[in-house]
Chain A
Amino acid sequence: MLDSQAPMISVRNMWKVFGANPEQIIGNPDADLTRQELRAKTGNTIAVRDVSFDVAPGEVFVVMGLSGSGKSTLVRCMTRLIEPTRGELRFEGEDILQVDEKRLRELRKTRFSMVFQHFGLLPHRKVIDNVAYSLEINGVGKSERHSRANEVIELVGLQGYGQAYPEQLSGGMQQRVGLARALAVDPQVLFLDEPFSALDPLIRRDMQAEVIRLHHQLGKTMVFITHDLAEAVKLGDRIAIMRDGAVVQIGTPEELVAKPADDYVANFVRDFPKSQVLTLRWIARPPAIGEDMNGPILPPTITVNNATRQIVESNLPIRVMENGNLLGVVTSQDVLNVISGSEL
């Protein structure tokens, strides 16, 4: 997809161990103990375990895992809200773990911003002053920062609420303030830490649509943390699945659904409606001997869901072609298998 470009963020062999003498755990046989055993033995907890990945410019990179899997710690390590125990972290090639406090603050002020699960709004400030906060600490003058804040407030659909206090807004609106605040400095990367898990399902859906819209409109790189597979699939260009601090698998949604790396991931995706994710590429099979090869042609990138109608209505097997090459055929029986879950 975007692999050809230099990565925006690059994480290499990152570890975070909580407790006393964290360095000693890494590379020690203790590191292989289970969480309970390690805690009982040394009092340490490994929250992030040897994690490496790249995030490409403009990509929405989702980190997914159950609670306690280390995903929130990971995202905090990436902004150094928590100092990683070991590893390398590069942002556009700059070694972030080596920069001093001042440079780090500069980066935070201008390059990346963060949206939090519980919003983290300042209750004593009006919406507009919440949004303008980072401009304020950047030393931007009052009228300038207010006009910029108003623009962003409008962008997230909160026009007219600038003078309200956070407590007077609903949860969804408060998170819009959180988004606006993060966008106010026009950052290159947005880190979103389970931003919608505290919201009602309906509002969550609206907010997800909002993120997609903003992503299309602004093209920001995003690192999105969630425990909800549907959300991950809906938003993510690529998804990293975490378990006990380690990344189990990284891939596009369809890769995860089609080829789970282990039982853990398989279990995870089992109940997920695969037809929403899988493209014809994944279900096309070599034609059987004597199969009619005159059916309609479809590209491999179309999802099963979107192709279902044409496949079912066709009496002949569908040919999946890419650049003039035949990748395979699909019949309505194959689609049924995917939908009913017996395939893969």
Chain B
Amino acid sequence: MSTTLLSRPSNESKPAEKKRSKLGFRLSILTCVFLFFAILLRGIATLPLDTSSLTPFQNWLNSVSDWIGNNRTSNPIFTFFINIIRDSINSFVTGIQYVISQPIGNNSAPLIGWFGIVVLLSFVAYAVANIRIAILVASGLVALGLLGFWQESMDTLALTLAAVVLALIVGIPLGICAGLFPRFEKLITPLLDFAQVMPTFVYLTPVTLFFLIGPASATIVTLVYALPPALRITAVALHEVPWSSVEAAISMGSTRMQALRKVQLPQAKRTIVVGINQTIMAALSMVTIAALIDAPGLGKVVIRALESLDIGSSFQAGLGIVILAVVLDRTTTAAASKVDAEMTLAISHKRHRQILIAGGVLSFVAIIFSRIFTWAGNFPGTGFIGSDIAKYTDNATNWFQAHFVNYTDGITNAVSYGLINPLQSILTNSPWFVTGIAFVGLGIIFGGKKLGIISSVCVLGIVGTGLWSDTMATLASTLVAAILTVAIGIIFGVWIGRSKRADRIIRPILDAGQVLPAFVYLVPFLGLFGATRFTAILAAIVYAAPASIKLMADGIAGVPATITEAGIAAGSSKWQMIIKVQLPSARRALALSTNQGIIYVLAMVVVGGLVGAGGLGYLVVAGFAQISLTGKGLAAGLAIVLLGIMLDRITQAIAARSTLQGNK
């Protein structure tokens, strides 16, 4: 619209340069002042707290959780509201289980046996995507059976489906509201941040207090994590619809609903399908953690294998989760691009319809088969390849441990003494107000007064949880993990971004890294690197690096051809191209991948607590396990959220800044 009225000064480049050198100046001043006071006031006001001690706030949280436990059967909020939610979710999940995973009554197979499911789901995949995806789905499902985890996989699928369906039922309408009403969006954004950064461990206990042990709790825990992407991406999808077409529709006399239904939603469809994909992936990533409160399925196998340090079995089940993830991811991705194709290409509907009817009949016959014949009802055999995979994994891990254990100590010590210890010593030994003011300063430098206020609220909030010292210890490990993650992100991102072939080979590995439950690789890591902070950092990197690498690779691949051509034309060597042309042009991607790196690393803080990282992660785990520490665990979760929001906002501000500069 021509109402953007501000005329820009013509000589823009000079002030920008000045601004940048000014930024560098301010940053170095801030660093110097921080270090000066950190050393001067060393050991004062560091707010340490013993593991077994509690602050009044933490005690209060304890009493809240006690109150819930005591009033569950009598308070009307529970009997009329929460219990009804619980019962409906429970019957929803068990309903799905009876259809695909659990035998009902005296039958030995669920309503639809494995054969029926394989044919039916392949047919669905064909209908929403294409024949290649249908084949992938069929082979993926059969592989699950061959691994020996048919029923467990279907239980996981049932729970995931239930959580995803609920997430979409709630998330899409709310996302539409957020897309239409900016005020509503502003209101719920912090809540979504909270839900995504809050470690799941923290609310496992409260959720079971509210909803008891069982499928309902497992579903809700998964739902909390899977809902935000559904909601956010729906809102984004509506924002992406060109305003001109909405305006046109209104100018023709459409009501708000008509514009939404006939103009905005059809155009937003593709992005919403992408949101469904993200929701499914988020739900799958909760499979193992939900197993801690008795969620059925593959996660349970992983957890039980971990008890006896059975690496082979846990890998075997982890592989099952990866297969499920790949199948669901590829299907929804293909469905999204098909939505695109349907928009512009007139597909021959008649032939398509005939095939669909044929497929439907085929599925029907397969379902009947799976109810008549035993071989089609329960997956035959007890896992033809599963035990072999477990055995090979064990052998490989043992070999690896035997051969590399001599080097691993050196690596652990180098990173610990070289990076973690100095950083942790500065952060935990300097007074809270010095470090706090440094954070507020960072906020102001990068994001102005508003970010300064957000940072100070976060700092004071962390102090309020009573866990400042633990937060600083966690921050030190988080920063080291983030630095290593970004370094890896740059190296691999540049490689993948520059080579299509590398991309094709590495991307599936990255996908697997993101969905393989951390529990699966924790034990081998423990064997190699001991119960140390470095092991925790390593686990965080495995989880965080894929996202970082992908963002970097997309950034490098997205550098406009004219820029790279100009670089080549100027006679740059390969390294000059990377360092002087491609990396600077992909500055925004670099900032974003740092941001995502930190968020992903923070998501693993709790897992780190399971392998010796201490800090907030350990407190969260302890809070889940010990009744007297419940309040402290909640407080630790809160501290993680506050730290996460602060780091996220600051790095986002940095990213936004590099976008502005990148556009020049």
Contact = CB atoms under 8 A, between A and B. Distances in A.
Assess A/B contact in the complex (Cβ within 8 A).
yes
Interface of A: 18, 35-36, 39, 45, 47, 67-73, 79, 81, 104-110, 113-114, 116-125, 133-134, 136-138, 163, 165, 167-168, 181, 185, 191
Contact of B253 (A47, A69, A105, A120): A105
Given A120-B244, A123-B267, A133-B252, A168 B4 contact: no
**A120, A125, A137, most chain B CB atoms within 10 A:** A120
Contacts of B54: none
A106 B253 contact: yes
Interface string B228-252: 0000000000000010110111111
Nearest to A105: B253
Nearest to A67: B2
Interface of B: 1-7, 242, 244-245, 247-255, 258, 262-263, 266-267, 269, 343-344, 346
Contact of B244 (A69, A118, A138): A118
Nearest to B256: A101
A113 B251 contact: yes
A134 B253 contact: yes
A280 B280 CA distance: 76
Given A116-B244, A120-B245, A35 B263 contact: no
Given A68-B4, A69-B2, A119-B244, A137 B251 contact: no
Contact of B248 (A71, A109, A120, A165): A120
A191 B248 CA distance: 11
B3 A70 contact: yes
A141 B243 CA distance: 28
A45 B267 contact: no
Contacts of B248: 114, 116, 120-122, 181
A231 B216 CA distance: 67
Nearest to B264: A122
**B2, B245, B263, B346, most chain A CB atoms within 10 A:** B2
Contacts of A47: 3, 5
Nearest to A194: B2
30 contacts: A45-B3, A47-B3, A47-B5, A67-B2, A68-B2, A70-B2, A70-B3, A71-B2, A72-B1, A72-B2, A73-B3, A105-B253, A106-B253, A107-B253, A108-B252, A109-B252, A110-B253, A113-B251, A117-B244, A118-B242, A121-B245, A122-B248, A123-B245, A125-B266, A133-B249, A134-B253, A136-B262, A137-B252, A137-B253, A163-B346
Contacts of A181: 248, 252
Given A120-B244, A121-B245, A191-B251, 6 more contacts: A45-B3, A105-B255, A122-B249, A123-B267, A123-B343, A137-B258
A108 B6 contact: no
Determine the main DSSP class of A at the interface with B. mixed
Nearest to A107: B253
Contacts of B3: 18, 45, 47, 68, 70, 72-73
Nearest to A168: B344
B60 to A, nearest CB: 41
Nearest to A187: B252
Contacts of B251: 79, 81, 108, 113-114, 191
Contacts of A105: 253-255
A134 B250 contact: no
**A105, A124, A138, most chain B CB atoms within 10 A:** A124
**A107, A133, A138, most chain B CB atoms within 10 A:** A133
Contacts of A45: 3, 5
A119 B244 CA distance: 7
Nearest to B243: A120
Contacts of B2: 67-73
A167 B245 contact: no
B522 to A, nearest CB: 47
B343 A134 contact: no
A69 to B, nearest CB: 7
Given A106-B253, A114-B248, A114-B251, A124 B1 contact: no
A110 B251 CA distance: 11
**A18, A119, A123, most chain B CB atoms within 10 A:** A123
A47 B4 CA distance: 10
Contacts of A121: 245, 248
Nearest to A104: B253
A268 to B, nearest CB: 17
A108 B22 CA distance: 54
A168 B343 CA distance: 11
B344 A108 contact: no
B253 A124 contact: no
Given A105-B253, A109-B252, A137-B252, A116 B266 contact: no
Contacts of A109: 252-253
Contacts of A125: 266
Nearest to B246: A120
Given A107-B253, A108-B252, A124 B346 contact: no
A2 B255 CA distance: 36
A116 B248 CA distance: 7
Nearest to A101: B255
Contacts of A185: 252
A106 B255 CA distance: 10
Given A18-B3, A67-B2, A165-B344, A122 B244 contact: no
Given A45-B3, A72-B2, A105-B253, A120 B247 contact: yes
Nearest to B4: A68
B298 to A, nearest CB: 39
Nearest to B270: A124
A116 B267 contact: no
**B247, B252, B267, most chain A CB atoms within 10 A:** B252
Contacts of B6: 36, 39
A136 B258 CA distance: 10
A116 B2 CA distance: 12
A67 B251 CA distance: 22
A109 B2 CA distance: 25
A114 B5 CA distance: 23
Contacts of A114: 248, 251-252
A110 B258 CA distance: 17
A107 B251 CA distance: 10
A133 B262 contact: yes
Nearest to A121: B245
A243 to B, nearest CB: 12
B267 A122 contact: yes
Contacts of A18: 3
Given A134-B253, A137-B262, A165 B343 contact: yes
Contacts of A67: 2
A71 B3 CA distance: 9
A125 B346 CA distance: 11
Contacts of A118: 242, 244
A-B complex: 8 closest residue pairs judged by Cβ atoms: A120-B248, A109-B253, A108-B253, A120-B244, A134-B252, A114-B251, A105-B253, A72-B2
A78 to B, nearest CB: 11
A122 B2 CA distance: 22
A116 B1 CA distance: 11
A44 B253 CA distance: 29
Contacts of A119: 244
Contacts of B346: 163, 165
B267 to A, nearest CB: 6
A122 B241 CA distance: 10
A183 to B, nearest CB: 12
B248 to A, nearest CB: 3
A69 B482 CA distance: 49
A191 B266 CA distance: 26
Given A71-B2, A167-B344, A122 B252 contact: no
Contacts of A81: 247, 250-251
A136 to B, nearest CB: 8
Contacts of B253: 104-110, 134, 137-138
Contacts of A113: 251-252
B257 to A, nearest CB: 10
A125 B266 CA distance: 9
